[in-house]
């Protein structure tokens, strides 16, 4: 039975795109926290470890302390916009929790239109003048030893307001679209109307606001692969020729080298070649055709993000060991062990995918690229995790 459209099961492409912009900016600035930690450690060591109130070369600690305040303010301010995209701001309203989903959407829309957006626009206007005044008047620290160019840190405020406006508009569109489609099944959103048949560009724009399912196809794909990969590994252990073993050995050798010398991107890329080599070694034309068709499909509509999987903490070593177990079982000619290793490997992938959750960006979600827009952004596809790579899936 088709899933009813809701925020838990569907996403809106244009909203995902806008939220992705905000998240990328905030996640990049979050690295300032690393610099902040280093500055705090240095300051504490110098002041309390060596009882010094200044650095070497007669440079006082006051500028460093002010720099710490500035670095602290950027992630905190930008984090306000990030919290809007994740709906993680603290709510204190008592009525909304008892409302129906439809009323919650209406409540959210009214709150954004009447309260949040007007407040953000006003603050953007005032904070922009605030930063410009600091720049034109060459404001600096009140301390004679403090930092100059105070306009730099003050400009963080209007930038934060701008990011919050983008995130709020995305949230407004999401709630509006989900309200319009509330209670409907996905098939109902596919119905086209006569005026849009006359203007494809308008129809493409309308598809930007169609809710797309998040989970179904990625989960089903991994469940199917659990069976198919197990059978491929089983028959590969029984039927692999010397040439097949050489190809598998070559793939696994490259995988080990990449694991040591390269990042998760290259390691994820070689993953598909390894699994396709196993399918080839099974010498079953149906299985081989199925595996190739699956990977070819994933090159066009990517449902699972191998890059995200390999970037997940602790996954790279576990995945390499799992691939080694599959490889060694096939080389040893132990079909049951190979099938078990392949199934355990895919079970781990499914569990990790559920922990990571769906990605917040859609591959090719660039409205300024007409090719990817037609093929991916506007197509009503289902997703667990999206992959921008073209070389298959985990």
pLDDT tens across 106-120, in order?
A: 888 999 999 999 999
Which residue in 224, 184, 179 sits closest to 380, CA to CA?
Answer: 184
Q: What mean pLDDT comes out for the span 194-199? A: 46
What is the tens place of the pLDDT at every residue in 67-76?
888 899 999 9
Residue 201 is predicted with a pLDDT of 52
With a CB cutoff of 8 Å and minimum separation 6, the contacts of 206 are 196
Given a contact cutoff of 8 angstroms between Cβ atoms, the answer to whether 389 and 307 are in contact is: yes
Q: How does DSSP classify residue 181?
A: T
Distances, alpha carbon 112 to alpha carbons 6, 10, 124, 164, 269, in Å: 19, 21, 16, 11, 43
Which tokens in the block code for residue 167? 């995130």
Residue 170: both structure tokens together: 């995305």
What are the tokens at 75? 């992630």
Contacts of 357 (CB under 8 A, 6+ apart): none
Contact 36, 72 (CB under 8 A): yes
Domains of the chain, with CATH numbers? 10-189 (no CATH), 214-377 (1.20.120.530)
Cβ atoms of residues 383 and 303 within 8 Å: yes
Question: How many helices and strands, by DSSP H and E, does the chain display?
Answer: 18, 2
CB distance 388 to 363 below 8 Å? yes
Supply the mean pLDDT for the chain.
75
């Amino acid at each position: 039975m088709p899933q009813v459209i809701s925020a838990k099961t569907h996403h809106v492409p244009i909203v995902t795109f806008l939220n992705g912009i905000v998240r990328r900016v905030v996640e990049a600035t979050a690295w300032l926290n690393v610099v902040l930690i280093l500055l705090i450690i240095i300051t504490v060591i110098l002041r309390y470890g060596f009882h010094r109130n200044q650095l070497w070369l007669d440079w006082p600690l006051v500028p460093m302390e002010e720099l710490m305040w500035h670095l602290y303010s950027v992630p905190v301010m930008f984090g306000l916009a990030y919290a809007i995209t994740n709906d993680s701001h603290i709510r204190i309203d008592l009525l909304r929790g008892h409302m129906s989903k439809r009323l919650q959407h209406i409540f959210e829309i009214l709150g954004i239109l009447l309260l949040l957006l007007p407040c953000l626009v006003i603050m953007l206007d005032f904070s922009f003048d605030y930063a410009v005044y600091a720049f034109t008047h060459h404001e600096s620290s009140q301390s004679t030893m403090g930092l100059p160019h105070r306009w730099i840190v003050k400009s963080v405020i209007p930038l934060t307001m701008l990011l919050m406006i983008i995130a709020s508009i995305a949230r407004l569109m999401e709630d509006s679209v989900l309200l319009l489609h509330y209670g409907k099944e996905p098939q109902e959103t596919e119905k086209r109307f006569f005026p849009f048949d006359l203007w494809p560009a308008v129809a493409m724009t309308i598809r930007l606001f169609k809710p797309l399912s998040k989970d179904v196809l990625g989960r089903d794909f991994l469940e199917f692969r659990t069976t198919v990969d197990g059978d491929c590994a089983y028959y590969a252990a029984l039927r692999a020729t010397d040439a097949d073993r050489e190809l598998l050995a070559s793939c696994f050798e490259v995988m080990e080298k990449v694991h040591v010398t390269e990042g998760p991107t290259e390691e994820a890329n070689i993953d598909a070649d390894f699994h396709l080599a196993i399918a080839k070694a099974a010498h079953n034309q149906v299985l081989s055709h199925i595996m190739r068709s699956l990977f070819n499909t994933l090159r066009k509509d990517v449902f699972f993000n191998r890059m995200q999987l390999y970037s997940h903490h602790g996954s790279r070593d576990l995945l390499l060991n799992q691939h080694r177990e599959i490889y060694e079982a096939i080389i040893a000619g132990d079909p049951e062990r190979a099938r078990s290793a392949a199934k355990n490997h895919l079970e781990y992938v499914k569990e990790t995918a559920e922990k990571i959750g769906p990605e917040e960006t859609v591959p090719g979600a660039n409205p300024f690229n007409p090719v990817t827009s037609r093929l991916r952004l506007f197509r009503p596809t289902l997703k667990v995790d999206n992959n921008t790579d073209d070389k298959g899936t985990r």
